[in-house]
Every structure is written in structure tokens, then in C-alpha cells.
Amino acid sequence: SSEGSYNTYNYTWSATPSAGSGLVGGETGASIGFTPDAPGTYVYTVTANDPVENCNTSSNITVVVKELDRKST
């Protein structure tokens, strides 16, 4: 057991669909920034890997991006 140890985790990010999601591929790190460039519903997934214990866990979030209302006044 590694209870009390300080493991280093590797994080990877993905989006479905990837087109328009703002992710370009290969994003890593516990926290990233991105801006979707097309309206739609995206499911973003972050996966954390503990290489010492050889285990993974993932979490998803769904983001709905709406088109801007560009009516002139």
C-alpha cells in the first residue's frame, strides 16, 4: 500500500465530439483552459493515471455551447 505517499499523477483530456471543442489534442495537466469555437454539446473527459500504482480514473462533464445572438440594434 502507498498510504501516506505522494504520488505524481498524469492527466489527459479529451472531448466528444473533438471538432469545435477547443481541444487540439494532447492536452495534459490537472487544470487546462480551452474555448469551444462552435455551438454544440460536448462531453469533456479528464483521465488521471497513477503510474506507481498502475491505476486510472476518469471524470466527465457535459458542456452546452450556444450560438451568440448577433442581432444589431
Provide the residue-wise pLDDT of the chain in tens; the chain has 73 residues: 456 567 789 999 999 999 999 998 889 999 999 999 999 999 999 999 999 889 999 999 999 999 988 776 5
27 neighbors 34 (Cβ within 8 angstroms): yes
> What local confidence, expressed as pLDDT, does residue 29 receive?
92
> What local confidence, expressed as pLDDT, does residue 1 receive?
47
C-alpha to C-alpha distance for 15 and 4, rounded to whole angstroms: 33
User: Measured between alpha carbons, how far is residue 46 from residues 12, 15, 23, 37, 52 in Å?
Assistant: 6, 9, 12, 20, 19
> What local confidence, expressed as pLDDT, does residue 60 receive?
97
Beta bridge partners of 58: 47
Amino acid letter, residue 34: F
